[in-house]
Structure 1
């Protein structure tokens, strides 16, 4: 027989069991990423800093991940691989085209008056109007003297020539690489249910592969930068700036002037990276731009060549 007090105890036990079951059901049906996000919030520094922060006050989960590294356990091994001797420069050419352009115009040819020469005869031989010869030589009459030197204004197709060279403003910082992620919206590599904005161009290559300066410039930052890992920033002319992230080794110092093709670092996976690659960013006047657009910019250089036809007697 169960007493009244026993009945009370049984009721309390049933209530506790039901409460626990309801709590478990609530946890199971909750957002599976909620706890993941809470754990991220706990592990992040309260005031993460980054010289590349562009999202304002609304930080994405990708930004939060980028405030800490996730590959610290392999970085020591990578640095040993990258410590192998690297060349100081790679032979990279920015030249897209190199052509010679001919322009029509007038070339002054000198002519020594011979015996029996007339102004009419000379004009016919050079296919030039006689009036132009008289004007060029300030002649008041058609009479000529033996041994007189005349300047004959001859119209030709290649009166002047210019060499036109088109060069890329930037070269690919890892020449032997494969593009694995482009600039713009993409699926978060750490959370397939979330879309984030990718701020650069990812170039996959083996750890230790040389990274070169994409253009001439001055090194303004080297060192660790949160999830970007070991990074280099270079200031270029006309307001351009480039960033090279996730490097296993850095070979330049702040204040150093570098030329296009200078080996500045080695490919790695430091910071927050899913594999060995270079994360490449380009800024123009402080604003982020698509690196592939920057890599397609060309400059034109025109050099006047000596006259293709030299005037002489």
Structure 2
């Protein structure tokens, strides 16, 4: 290997080292074991002992691929098969084509294949190729994510009541009484004629009557307006609650569908990789996270608050989620222990 560092140049062989401007370079030789396997008509490659080339290493599927009459056929392996750096399902091979899968490199030479085992796949004492267990973390299968819901607080309104009758006609009574008393005092002190006094009293009573009519009308109008606003607010929140119920039902259905797809994908991949018994248990878990604001005891029994609590309770219902277990692990407990 030739190393060029700034204006310095050094040629290294395996096992040699050198220092260039306080930087140490060392060329390490890594042994590579080359093995060749003759090809008759058809060979299979994988972890299974039924394969002509059995490679028990991580990343190799139980039945990875086969070569038959110069055609490579991938068996839907988990990590794929690459020919000349391109992932393939089916490919016609040419002389000296490079086949790569997992950490293994293979050269196709028509009558035989040359296997380059830099990391020797036969030497792996920790791997049990016959009884290996696969779990979602191995298979790149992920559970669907938990949904999030934020439940809004209703606009709390007190019970609509009419204005008190005294508040409506009180000002008119005050005007009438003040006008009556003023007329008597003025007539007595100024010695006015009785006709003038009656004229002043009638004017005061007319003004008082007008204020009384206005007060009663305004009392009724304000009551109807408050009822209308309250009804509108209640209808809007009821519509919001119904919309959240619909959204929750759709999201829950989608979550359960993704759970089914997750189980199917897991089982299909597991059976393809392991072809063994699958232990699938189930548990109950939340499918969504509900956030909401607590209310004071004063409004706890409000009708809208009761509807909100029912919605939150509905969203907090648990659904069945799968649990993939090893043999002997407890699935559930009902009166006795079930394994």
Q: Quickly name the TM-score band, shorter chain normalised.
A: under 0.3
Q: TM-score, normalised by structure 2?
A: 0.20
Instruction: Write 1 or 2 for the structure with the bigger share of strand.
Output: 1
Q: TM-score, normalised by structure 1?
A: 0.21
Structure number with larger C-alpha Rg: 2
